[in-house]
Each structure stands twice: as structure tokens, then as C-alpha cells.
């Protein structure tokens, strides 16, 4: 199974924004530190860095059905009139980085992401961000549907509960047939042409598990 190289790879970080709700994600501080390490490594290797920003219009026009609104009818989360939509202040954003604005879970839905990836000649995506079970999951499957090879960086992902995070990673491992799963340390070693470990599926649905064994299954990755 093919692994990414520096010639046709991009780092895609999903919704690592100032939104206060991300503080509900366990280990968010670690996620941002790992993302910073990988961003700097990619930049040194000439790998493009792409961020998505989830944005809801302050007037609530076009927001998803059921989007939480405040008493004035304005979105509670990712409000376009707040600083919460900005990429996290903890990340080393550069003028050379690309920021993709989106209005639904998937980074591909009615955004410029695919146009940008095609313009860069990208075939492989290094993928991380939040929330694992929402925007990361839908972006990963949409990337796979478009024949991008997905490399999930599992410790640059997080959700509001450990179970939601783990089950989503295992779901992607089961059904994205050409996925590679890394942790930050090993994807950095891969980029630097050092010995590294990556988990790859041997066949579809290769990690079937009873609910009682979810954590044990996740730790195999």
C-alpha cells in the first residue's frame, strides 16, 4: 500500500480554531502541540499546509438545520462575527499556508478544497483535527470517495469523548481501504525518511470488535 511522499502530499488540519467548544476535547493541548510539530516539519519538507475553518454566518443564513442559536437568533458556535473562527493562536500559521472556509462538516462540501488540492497536484493527505467523529470523519470519507489517499494522524485528532474518538478512528480504519494511520512521532519520521511505524488495513473491516473491546482494538493501531 502506497505511503505519502513530499512531492504530492499536503497536510490538512480540520477546524483547529479558537472556538471555545474545542476546550471540551480531552487532550486538546496535546493535539495543538502535535499539530505544531507536524506543521513545522511539513514546512521544512516543502509540504503544503492547509487549514479548514468552520464558519456560521452571524445572521444564521444558510446554517445547518438545528444549528444552536442564541436568544438573538445568531449561531452559538463558529459565529462569523467572533474571533472564534480564527485558526488557533497556538498554531504557527504562516502567510504561505492555505485556509479553506467551510459551512458544513466535510471540508469538501461546497468549498474550494478540491480545487486547491488539484492545483497543488496532491494525491496523499495527512489528516488531523477536530472533531474526530464529525468533521474529520466526513472529510476523510469524502477524500476517499475522490481517490485521495488518506493518512490519519490519530493523536492530532480528538472528540468530546474518548469513546467517540476511538470508534471513529476504528471506523475509518475499517472502511477506507487504503488508509495509513500514524501518530505524530511516526509521521514525522516518515517525512524525514527515518524508520517508522504505520498501521495499514489487511482487508476491509479488519478490526471488527464487540463494544467491550473497543479500547483494546484502538490500541492496535
Instruction: With respect to residue 206, please indicate whether it lies within any of the assigned structural domains.
Output: yes
Instruction: With respect to residue 2, please indicate whether it lies within any of the assigned structural domains.
Output: no
Domains: count for the chain: 1
Instruction: With respect to residue 119, please indicate whether it lies within any of the assigned structural domains.
Output: yes
Predicted confidence at residue 41, as pLDDT, reads 98
Instruction: With respect to residue 1, please indicate whether it lies within any of the assigned structural domains.
Output: no
**Residues in contact with 65: Cβ distance below 8 Å, sequence separation at least 6, in sequence order:** none
Residue 144 has pLDDT above 70, yes or no: yes
pLDDT band for 209, please (50, 70, 90 cuts): confident
Instruction: Write out pLDDT tens, residues 40-89.
Output: 999 999 999 999 999 999 999 999 999 999 999 999 999 999 999 999 99
The CATH number for 202's domain is 3.40.50.850
Averaged over 134-144, what is the pLDDT? 98
Predicted confidence at residue 152, as pLDDT, reads 98
Residue 211 has pLDDT above 90, yes or no: no
Instruction: With respect to residue 6, please indicate whether it lies within any of the assigned structural domains.
Output: no
Can you give the residue range of the structural domain that contains 177? 11-218
Q: Cα–Cα distance between 127 and 144 in angstroms, integer?
A: 12
Residue 1 has pLDDT above 70, yes or no: no
pTM of this prediction?
Answer: 0.94
Q: Do residues 14 and 135 lie in contact, with contact meaning Cβ atoms separated by under 8 Å?
A: yes
End-to-end CA distance of the chain: 16
Amino acid at each position: 500500500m502506497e505511503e505519502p511522499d513530499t512531492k504530492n502530499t499536503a497536510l490538512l488540519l480540520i477546524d483547529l480554531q479558537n472556538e471555545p467548544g474545542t476546550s471540551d476535547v480531552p487532550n486538546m493541548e496535546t493535539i495543538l502541540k502535535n499539530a505544531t510539530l507536524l506543521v513545522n516539519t511539513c514546512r521544512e519538507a516543502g509540504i503544503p499546509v492547509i487549514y479548514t475553518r468552520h464558519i456560521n454566518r452571524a445572521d444564521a443564513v444558510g446554517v445547518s438545520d438545528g444549528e444552536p442559536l442564541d436568544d438573538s437568533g445568531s449561531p452559538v458556535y463558529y459565529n462569523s462575527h467572533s474571533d472564534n473562527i480564527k485558526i488557533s493562536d497556538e498554531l504557527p500559521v504562516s502567510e504561505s499556508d492555505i485556509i479553506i472556509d467551510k459551512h458544513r462538516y466535510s471540508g469538501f462540501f461546497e468549498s474550494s478544497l478540491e480545487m486547491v488540492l488539484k492545483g497543488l497536484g496532491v494525491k496523499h493527505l495527512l489528516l488531523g483535527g477536530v472533531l474526530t467523529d464529525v468533521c474529520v470523519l466526513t472529510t476523510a470519507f469524502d477524500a476517499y470517495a475522490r481517490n485521495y489517499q488518506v493518512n490519519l494522524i490519530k493523536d492530532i485528532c480528538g472528540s468530546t469523548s474518548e469513546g467517540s474518538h476511538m470508534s471513529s478512528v476504528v471506523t475509518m480504519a475499517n472502511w477506507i481501504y487504503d488508509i495509513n494511520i500514524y501518530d505524530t512521532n511516526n509521521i514525522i519520521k516518515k517525512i524525514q525518511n527515518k524508520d517508522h511505524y504505520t498501521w495499514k488495513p489487511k482487508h476491509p473491516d479488519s478490526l471488527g470488535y464487540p463494544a467491550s473491546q473497543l479500547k483494546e482494538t484502538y490500541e492496535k493501531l
